[in-house]
Amino acid sequence: MFKTITVALSNPTGGSYLTGDQLGEPVLVPNIVADSGGACILKSFTMITTTNVSVGVNDIWFFKSQPTTVADNEVFSMTDDMLSLAIGTVRVANADQSPEGAPLGVAACVRNIGLILKTIPDSKDLWVVCKIAGGNSYGAGTVSLIFGVEQP
């Protein structure tokens, strides 16, 4: 069964982000799998800004439980503890974006991903962190993350 899950990236303060900075706080992606301890296949990922600025190049990191990270707009640095929780990453490239000036904001969509994501026992949820992979500016506001998954 194909399912989409939309979450809002929490606390983007806006302003200039440098390569390596974290965008927002870690975000819970609820019910990404159908059964506790189950798996899904990430088929697509979409990132939408409401402030009409470029999405830029970003790495979306997936974690099996909540990672301890830095605050918004600070340098994201992967620790050994975080690495033990990491289960995959997806790169959002400039080529994945719609043009700036779109009436509803700017979107970037990555398709045909095929990344298998597995949750821990007794959980249907995963966590994501957005790391800036190419310097960019974001206005303060909401960044929506949309996950398209195939649940067996």
Q: Is the distance from CB of 119 to CB of 32 less than 8 angstroms?
A: yes
Q: What is the pLDDT of residue 16?
A: 78
What pTM does this model have? 0.90
Q: What is the pLDDT of residue 51?
A: 65
pLDDT band at 136 (very low <50, low <70, confident <90, very high): confident
Does residue 131 sit in helix, strand or coil? Answer: strand
What are the pLDDT digits (tens) for 84-132?
999 999 999 877 877 655 555 667 899 999 999 999 999 999 999 999 8
Mean pLDDT computed over 28-42:
95
What are the pLDDT digits (tens) for 41-89?
999 999 887 765 666 778 999 999 999 888 888 899 889 999 999 999 9
Q: What is the pLDDT of residue 82?
A: 92
Q: What is the pLDDT of residue 142?
A: 74
Rounded to an integer, what distance in angstroms lies between the CA atom of residue 39 and that of residue 26? Answer: 20
Q: What is the pLDDT of residue 23?
A: 87
Instruction: Name, in order, each residue with C-beta under 8 angstroms of 126's C-beta and a sequence gap of 6 or more.
Output: 28, 29, 32, 62, 63, 64, 87, 117, 119
pLDDT band at 39 (very low <50, low <70, confident <90, very high): very high
Q: Is the distance from CB of 85 to CB of 118 less than 8 angstroms?
A: no
Rounded to a whole number, what is the distance in angstroms from the first to the last CA of the chain? 6
Q: What is the pLDDT of residue 18?
A: 84
Write down the mean pLDDT value for the chain. Answer: 86
Rounded to an integer, what distance in angstroms lies between the CA atom of residue 14 and that of residue 7? Answer: 18
Q: Which residues pair with 2 in a beta bridge?
A: 150
